[in-house]
Amino acid sequence: MERFPDKPFYALIDKRSWAHGDAWVVWPWEGNGSKGIEDHIVRLLQYVGENPDRGGLAETPARVAKAWKEWCSGYDKDPADILKTFEDGAEGVDEMVVVKNIPFYTHCEHHMAPFFGTATIGYLPNKKIVGLSKLSRLLDIYAKRLQVQERLGCQVADAIMDHLGALGCGVVITARHLCMESRGICKQGSETSTSALRGLFKDDPAVRNEFLQLAR
């Protein structure tokens, strides 16, 4: 290829003796980085009926690649880093901590379509508390991954239980799913609510009711 840069390049792959599992074939001119993925965006543009050479789309593959990196930037973040606690002043805290209506934006794993809404997160501290802004950053770590709504709530609740050793925790999420509203069954304006309850939030009816009242 280096000797004949202007000649077409052909390659035969015998998949019967292909020893690389599901690995992608990356041709020398594709490179790794974002260039490879941009080729797939060009394919997608063709697939939806567009002309990828149209002026307005010239920068689109690079922009899409960059945007998806950001939308999925939660995979390489560790909730433990965010939930580092300060114990100062936490000894006397035995009341429920609740942060209401934290906005989030994520994408469903079934269609990679946006779903977005708000989460109300509450927990009963056990000598450990975190800054309130940490709860929204925790939510963001999991929202910046492909998600299903139920799992998003469970992951946030489990992280709070695991890293704060909380006595109980609850996460109520209300969201609109564009895969439901803009296509398929087209249920416009419908909201989906889910809750994940752990510890005393699950087992103690008084605690659960207090939280669910506050989360309304």
DSSP string, 12-52: ---GGG--STTPPP--TTT-SHHHHHHHHHHHHHHHTT--T
Query: Residue 112 or 132: which CB sits closer to Zn ion?
Result: 112
Query: Residue 179 or 212: which CB sits closer to Zn ion?
Result: 179
Within positions 78 to 97, which residues make up the interface with Zn ion, using CB under 5 A?
none
Type and span of the H or E element at 102 = strand 97-108
3-state secondary structure of 149: helix
Query: Residue 111 or 208: which CB sits closer to Zn ion?
Result: 111
AA letter at 131 = G
Query: Residue 42 or 72: which CB sits closer to Zn ion?
Result: 72
111 is catalytic: yes
108 is catalytic: yes
Within positions 103 to 122, which residues make up the interface with Zn ion, using CB under 5 A?
108, 110-111
Of 9-17, 127-135, 174-182, 186-194: span binding Zn ion (CB under 5 A) = 174-182
**By CB under 5 A, residue 148 contacts Zn ion:** no
* Structural contact between residues 165 and 179, judged by C-beta atoms closer than 8 angstroms: no
**By CB under 5 A, residue 179 contacts Zn ion:** yes
DSSP string, 60-92: HHHHHHHHHHHHTTTTT--HHHHT--B-TTTTT
Contacts for 119 with CB less than 8 Å, ≥ 6 apart:
101, 102, 104, 139, 152, 153, 156, 171, 172, 173, 174
Catalytic residue among 46, 110, 150, 191: 110
* Residues that contact Zn ion, how many (by CB under 5 A): 4
**By CB under 5 A, residue 183 contacts Zn ion:** no
Tokens 């008084």 belong to which residue?
Answer: 206
Query: Residue 87 or 109: which CB sits closer to Zn ion?
Result: 109
20 is catalytic: no
109 is catalytic: yes
* Structural contact between residues 157 and 170, judged by C-beta atoms closer than 8 angstroms: yes
Of 70-78, 81-89, 101-109, 153-161: span binding Zn ion (CB under 5 A) = 101-109
Catalytic residue among 38, 107, 147, 149: 149
The residues binding Zn ion (CB under 5 A) are: 108, 110-111, 179
Catalytic residue set: 108-111, 149, 177, 179
